[in-house]
Structure formats: structure tokens, C-alpha cells
Structure 1
């Protein structure tokens, strides 16, 4: 979670981006050393992009690295994953998207048996390799930044199978922009899984509502259920951004 000073830095960057270290230090009445330390922490969390001598907010097409996102809002993701895992029945064939929340779901599923899992995510597959589940890794071109499989081979493979459920991860969701993600190549894979699945379950931690990214993934009507977290009174209201079934955990 962001510290109070990190939230102040984000507020300043919302009004002016980029800003220099000197400008931020003057605005917050702290030393430049302190600001540099804050910016280093914020960059690791994917909250800002470091610029020469300063920082800016990420652009729509900027995708934080998997390991940057992995520990961000981890408790929220774990709560979603625990609930999602509890609804999966033995004998089901499911597909898991690339993403840090689906990785948490994979960890929950290592305790289970009798489930068949397909995934294009190397991180998810490596977690499930330690389980008793039957796991199929979709082949294709490795997208190194996300350690996932994309491209025509991956798409052709997905289209050969049918899935009971697809567990979808997204970068942001809003009524205006819809359900969005960072990568064009990754979005093609998501759409193929959606097309071949009886039901689509979106795993969306509460910080994603009201956010938007580069490319629209699908229409809201294609999502059968969205699993998210209960928020406080200052948080974005999921029902303001999604009109379908919402399950709060």
C-alpha cells in the first residue's frame, strides 16, 4: 500500500507530469535524498516511471514488470484467489490467464486434485508444476517481459480446446474505457480463451476500478462474474464501472 508521502507524490504528478526531484522535494518540504528513496520504492511497485532527474506517471501503454506487480496489493489478490479456488470443482477444465492474481490462484490450486488447467503463463505453469493437477502449457512465442506465450501458435492451440471457465486478469476497468489491458499481443490470447470458454471469471482487485490501459479486451457482457474486494467509503465503487455479477470477498 502507498505511504502518505507516496500518495502526495502521486497527487502532484496527477497535476503535473513529469516533475523533477527538486520540484517534488520543494513541494513536500523534504530532502532530495528522501524523494529519490520514495521514487525508487514507487518505481518497484509500478506506481511511477523514473525519468532523468525526476519521475512521471505511467502512460497508457506502460506495463509494469511482473515482479514489480507481484507484491503490490498482495492481500487483496490472495483473498480473491482463495475464494475463486473454492468455487472450482473436481473434473473441471479451466484456463488461467497471465497475471499476479491468477498466479495467486495457481498457488491455491496446488492444494487440489482432479482439475485440468491450461495456461499461457510460464509463472502460473511453474507454480502448478508442483501440484497433482494435470497442467497444459500453451506453446508459442515467449513474451519475455511477462514470461507468457503469445502469437499465432498460441492462438491456434487455444482454439483447439474447450474450457469450463477462464479466469481473466485485467489492467483496469471503467464504464468509459471498458475492460482494458496493456498489451495487444496478450489481449489476443485473452480473447481466444474467452471465445473457447463456457464462462469467464474476471479476477480484479479493487484498485483496478476506474483505471484504463491501452487496449480494450472485451465487452462487459462477456464476463459471467467479477470477483473483487470490499472497499472503504473512499474507494472506487465496482458497480459504477461494471454492470454484471460482482462477488465481493
Structure 2
């Protein structure tokens, strides 16, 4: 197993268990204490975990500015976005969410014909200006930190839209609590989009799984599938499949 792959799996193990002893990690991953200490040191430098005497604990992320997250796990996000775009057919009306993963869809859509994109993402709208794609920007309040527009029913009537496919982002994904986000306003917009869309996909990297953040967007039964990267453990994939939620895993190393 490559070092980066092992560190990702260690991070997912610590995130799942919250607090873990170092000796437990050596047994779980069948490596020496010296190797675990090196891996832990790297994860600490990345501010993913915090060390205490004899063990480590997971650091729960807080919502950050979109510009700060745009270049994190970029390879995985591009691979997920490309897979999402491959699901889009000519002539469809789709929704693209305001997250950093769905933002990466825009280059893969520009050759589509007679496509309409509904979005609350200002960067998505700006990227599609000058293309042949029809762009509908939802009305509401501009959220500066995310460069997004959060809906206001007085200004924008969602029931007039006929969305074939919606591509939604998430800050947390779990069977128990469903899809969750840090922002109430973003959650409300996503709820409205999900309620009127024929098919709903969640596009999110593997780090968001088995965690719940502040606001529930919807239970997992309300979505039709999840697209994520191949760092997600097979046990998690099977757990979601057993609950009727198919997960499409993409290889971030492939072109």
C-alpha cells in the first residue's frame, strides 16, 4: 500500500472512531509504530487530526471560503465532476450546485447541445458565459463566502422549473442523518431543488462520508445516487448499497 493511500485510510478510520490509540492503528494497518508516527505527523501537518499522549483524535472541519477549498483534493473533484458530466444528455435541463466539486463540471459540458443549466453558483454561471449553454441563475441573496445565491421564494419560483438531473454537493453524508451542510440557507435551496428534480445525484469526495454536520438537507432515500472517488472503503460502499443507495466510484488517477 502506498503511503498516501494508507494515510487516507488512517484518516477515514480516525474520523469514524473519533479517538484512536496509536497501538490500535499499528494493528489495524499492520505496520510499525514508527510508520504510524510518520503518517500521524503528516496528517497533523495537514490539520486533519490532533495528537495526544498515546493516540490521536479527529479534527472536525469548519466551513471555509470557497476559494480556500477550490484547490483541495482537486484531482478527485475533477474526476467526480467528469463522471457527473457524462450522465448529462443533450437537450436536458440540469442543476449544478454551488460546491467546489460540481464547479469542476463546466469544462465537460460545453460540447453538449441544447443544454440548460440552472445554478446558484456565480463561478459556474461566469464559466458558462460565452458558451452555447442556456444559463438560469436562481434569484435571492448573494452569499459572499461561497460566491453563491441562496434562494428566496418571493424572488424565484422553483415550481416553474423542470429539472431532469440535479448535481448536489454535501459537507456530510451518512445513512443515519442523510445529506448535510453547514449552512441553513444552502440547505433550504438544495431541499427545493431536490423536491422538483427528476433525478438527484450527490457529487462529493470520500472525505465527506460517515459524518454529519449542522443542517440536514435530506435523507439518503431522497437521492438517486452518489458519485465519489475511489478512496472510499468498500465496506462503506456496501453499506450504502444495502440501504438502496448506489455509489459510483471514480478513479482519480485516470485521465
TM-score, normalised relative to structure 1: 0.74
- Equivalent pairs, count: 218
Does the CA contact (< 8 Å) of 2:97 and 2:120 recur in 1?
Answer: yes
Structure 2 residue 131 is matched with structure 1 residue 131: yes
CA distance in 2, matches of 1:224, 1:245: 7
Which SS does the other structure have where 1:190 is aligned?
A: helix
Question: Cα 1:69–1:154, aligned 2, differ >3 Å: closer, same or farther?
Answer: farther
CA distance in 2, matches of 1:2, 1:140: 42
CA distance in 2, matches of 1:165, 1:154: 24
* 1:84-123 alignment, distance < 5 Å: 84-123=84-123
Question: Cα 1:235–1:100, aligned 2, differ >3 Å: closer, same or farther?
Answer: farther
Instruction: Give the CA deviation at 1:15.
Output: 5.0
Instruction: Give the CA deviation at 1:156.
Output: 3.4
- Show the counterpart of 2:239: 240
CA distance in 2, matches of 1:137, 1:156: 10
What is the CA deviation profile of residues 17-67 of structure 1, one whole-angstrom value per residue up to 9, with x for unaligned ones? xxxxxxxxxxx89xxxxx9xx98x747xxx58xxxxxxx9346xx312111
Which SS does the other structure have where 1:82 is aligned?
A: helix
Aligned structure 1 segments of 4 or more residues deviating by more than 6 angstroms = 1-4
Question: Cα 1:210–1:100, aligned 2, differ >3 Å: closer, same or farther?
Answer: same
* 1:35-114 alignment, distance < 5 Å: 42=46, 47=48, 57-58=59-60, 62-114=62-114
Does the CA contact (< 8 Å) of 1:103 and 1:127 recur in 2?
Answer: no
Which SS does the other structure have where 2:248 is aligned?
A: strand
Instruction: Give the CA deviation at 1:243.
Output: 3.4
CA distance in 2, matches of 1:154, 1:107: 32
CA distance in 2, matches of 1:134, 1:116: 5
CA distance in 2, matches of 1:174, 1:185: 21
Instruction: Give the CA deviation at 1:3.
Output: 11
TM-score, normalised relative to structure 2: 0.72
Instruction: Give the CA deviation at 1:155.
Output: 7.1
CA distance in 2, matches of 1:155, 1:121: 17
- Structure 1, unmatched stretches of 5+, are 17-27, 30-34, 49-55
Question: Cα 1:245–1:58, aligned 2, differ >3 Å: closer, same or farther?
Answer: closer
CA distance in 1, matches of 2:155, 2:207: 30
* 1:138-217 alignment, distance < 5 Å: 138-153=138-153, 156-217=156-217
What is the CA deviation profile of residues 106-127 of structure 1, one whole-angstrom value per residue up to 9, with x for unaligned ones? 2321333321111011111111
CA RMSD of superposed structures (Å): 3.4
What is the CA deviation profile of residues 59-117 of structure 1, one whole-angstrom value per residue up to 9, with x for unaligned ones? 6xx31211121111111111111121122111101111110111011232133332111
Does the CA contact (< 8 Å) of 2:139 and 2:156 recur in 1?
Answer: no
Instruction: Give the CA deviation at 1:199.
Output: 0.9
